[in-house]
């Protein structure tokens, strides 16, 4: 019997296929749900705080109050001590912070700064490359104020102001000129009867910025001085027979005032604030004019000299920035800046803290402000001041430098 013939299957009549497996839905754990809820709550809380604090506002956040009750420690040049002594109580009254500045001299100030035992140093001398390399951390050089060096002398019976120049002063300190009526001095003072007396030279025994300013002039005017002595805060003085060394500006002035036939040097403010005021010289400038030190002629000298210079940044080297021998008609030729030094990373300085860093910035901003600089040449004070306020171009350099100060790698927060 033959096999039955197969027929094609009919889909409609085919047996139903097995149903697909049901989708398995995993049950979320209650812990995961709680975690998500907590995250959402934290984000919402942060948004609320951010809104309240103005994080999402285009307006600048309010500046916080500066710390108070902080004392900054400085040291250095006696040249500028009368001005800083005037500033100290004014700054304290304005801010509630103090500055202690014993004015131990430029050499002492820089030594202490190098040893990070003070917050800032002040000197009349811009530091040289070797001194810069020896610092434990990079420092800013901030011009603080301008001023003049006066050459003082004691010549009994001579009432006419003496005329001197850098070459004559160099020869006097070198011992080449030894008497007051020497031909070279008499030629510069043809109408003065000069005494036939030995010149007694007086200089600073300690490392001094005033010595730097003097030797800067002498090096510029006298090739012999430049090659044998040079410039610096503590040069090797020539072995002239009658040299006298005194520690501090006041001691130099006192010795000259009390001893006839002496010659010395000091800053103009200390000279004019002495009682009685000692005799001081008119100095010949490059234009060939004899100029007496005044605020006006020192201001003119600084402005004219700056016009010939490209100013470095505060983090650059100021060592070659000399203000002596400006070439204007009435420029006083022995002008100078006084410099303040501070570590750019304030956490590398003396006894650092975040609050002190803010106060250092506050102090620096304050001393270069117009109100503080106005005291530099305030002759109405009980003890008049004879300095030159910083020119605007120099203030701008200082402001940029101060803005670059950091603490632990971050900009110092502003305060007011």
DSSP for 45-86, please give it: HHHHHHHHHTTT-SSPPPPBPPP-S-EEEEEE-STTHHHHHH
The mean pLDDT value for 383-401 works out to: 98
The mean pLDDT value for 348-355 works out to: 97
Q: How far is CA 89 from CA 103, 281, 338, 368, in A?
A: 16, 34, 21, 16
Predicted pLDDT at 3: 42
Q: Position of tokens 């027979």?
A: 241
Predicted pLDDT at 64: 73
The CA distance from 348 to 341, in Å, is 13
DSSP strands (E only) in 127-169: 139-153, 163-164
Closest CA to 298 of 220, 380, 369, 390: 390
**DSSP state, residue 14:** S
Q: How far is CA 78 from CA 186, 208, 247, in A?
A: 33, 8, 11
Please report which helix (H) or strand (E) contains residue 213, including its range.
helix 209-221
The mean pLDDT value for 335-344 works out to: 98
Q: Which two tokens stand for residue 121?
A: 């140093």
Whole-number percent of the chain with pLDDT over 70: 85
Predicted pLDDT at 239: 86
The CA distance from 271 to 245, in Å, is 18
Predicted pLDDT at 415: 86
The mean pLDDT value for 191-208 works out to: 97
Q: How many helices (H) and strands (E) does the chain have?
A: 14, 14
Predicted pLDDT at 416: 79
C-alpha atoms less than 13 angstroms from C-alpha of 332 in its C-beta half-sphere: 23
Predicted pLDDT at 20: 43
Q: Tell me whether residue 59 is exposed, middle or buried, using C-beta atoms within 10 angstroms of its C-beta: 0 to 12, 13 to 18, 19 or more.
A: exposed
Closest CA to 140 of 268, 318, 391: 318
The mean pLDDT value for 188-210 works out to: 97
Predicted pLDDT at 18: 42
pLDDT for 8 beyond 70: no
Predicted pLDDT at 241: 67
User: What are 242-276's pLDDT values in tens digits?
Assistant: 899 999 999 999 999 999 999 999 999 999 999 99
The mean pLDDT value for 176-183 works out to: 97
User: What are 47-91's pLDDT values in tens digits?
Assistant: 333 333 333 333 333 367 999 999 999 999 999 999 999 999 999
The CA distance from 147 to 64, in Å, is 36
Contact (Cβ atoms closer than 8 angstroms) between residue 134 and residue 115: no
Predicted pLDDT at 240: 76
- Place 382 in a pLDDT band, splitting at 50, 70 and 90: very high
Q: Which two tokens stand for residue 288?
A: 């060939």
pLDDT for 205 beyond 90: yes
DSSP of 331-372: --S-EEEEEEEEESBGGGSSS--HHHHHHHHHHHHHHTSHHH
Predicted pLDDT at 14: 39
Please report which helix (H) or strand (E) contains residue 44, including its range.
helix 30-53
The CA distance from 226 to 306, in Å, is 23
DSSP strands (E only) in 216-327: 243-246, 262-267, 279-280, 282-284, 290-291
pLDDT for 318 beyond 90: yes
Q: Are strands 410-411 and 98-100 parallel, antiparallel or unpaired?
A: unpaired
Average model confidence (pLDDT) across the chain: 88
- Long-range contact set of residues 368-374: C-beta below 8 Å, sequence gap at least 24: 368/142, 368/144, 368/395, 368/398, 368/399, 368/402, 372/87, 372/90, 372/91, 373/145
pLDDT for 6 beyond 70: no
The mean pLDDT value for 140-156 works out to: 98
Q: Which domains does the chain have, with CATH numbers?
A: 71-146+311-320+332-411 (3.40.190.10), 149-306 (3.40.190.10)
Contact (Cβ atoms closer than 8 angstroms) between residue 287 and residue 328: yes
Predicted pLDDT at 203: 97
């Amino acid at each position: 019997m033959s096999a039955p013939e197969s027929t094609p299957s009919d889909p409609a009549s085919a047996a139903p296929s097995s149903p697909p497996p049901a989708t398995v839905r995993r049950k979320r754990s209650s812990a995961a749900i709680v975690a998500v809820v907590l995250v959402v709550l934290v984000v919402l809380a942060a948004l609320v705080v951010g809104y309240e604090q103005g994080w999402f506002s285009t307006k600048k956040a309010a500046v916080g109050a500066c710390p108070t009750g902080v004392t900054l420690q400085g040291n250095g040049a006696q040249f500028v001590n009368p001005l800083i002594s005037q500033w100290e109580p004014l700054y304290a009254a304005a801010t509630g912070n103090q500055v202690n500045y014993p004015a131990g001299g430029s050499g002492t100030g820089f030594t202490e700064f190098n040893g990070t035992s003070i917050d800032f140093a002040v000197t009349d001398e811009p530091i040289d490359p070797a001194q810069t390399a020896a610092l434990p951390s990079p420092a800013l050089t901030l011009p603080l104020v301008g001023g003049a060096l006066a050459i003082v002398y004691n010549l009994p019976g001579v009432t006419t102001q003496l005329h001197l120049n850098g070459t004559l002063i160099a020869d006097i300190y070198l011992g080449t000129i030894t008497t007051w009526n020497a031909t070279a001095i008499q030629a510069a003072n043809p109408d003065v009867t000069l005494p036939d007396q030995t010149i007694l030279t007086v200089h600073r025994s300690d490392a001094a910025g005033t010595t730097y300013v003097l030797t800067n002039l002498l090096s510029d005017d006298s090739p012999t001085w430049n090659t044998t002595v040079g410039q610096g805060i503590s040069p090797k003085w020539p072995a002239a027979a009658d040299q006298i060394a005194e520690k501090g500006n006041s001691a130099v002035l006192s010795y000259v005032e009390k001893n006839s036939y002496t010659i010395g040097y000091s800053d103009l403010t200390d000279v004019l604030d002495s009682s009685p005021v000692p005799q001081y010289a008119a100095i010949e400038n490059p234009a060939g004019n004899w100029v007496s030190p005044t605020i006006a002629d020192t201001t003119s000298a600084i402005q004219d000299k700056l016009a010939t210079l490209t100013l470095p940044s505060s983090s650059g080297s100021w060592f070659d920035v000399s203000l002596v021998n400006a070439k204007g008609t009435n420029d006083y030729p022995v002008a100078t800046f006084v410099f303040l030094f501070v570590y750019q990373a304030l956490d590398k300085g003396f006894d650092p803290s975040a609050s002190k860093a803010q106060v250092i910035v506050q102090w620096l901003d304050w001393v270069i402000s117009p109100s503080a600089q106005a005291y530099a040449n305030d002759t109405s004070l009980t003890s008049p001041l004879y300095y030159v306020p910083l020119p605007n171009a120099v203030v701008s350099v200082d402001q940029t430098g101060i803005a670059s100060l950091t603490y632990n790698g971050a900009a110092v927060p502003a305060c007011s």
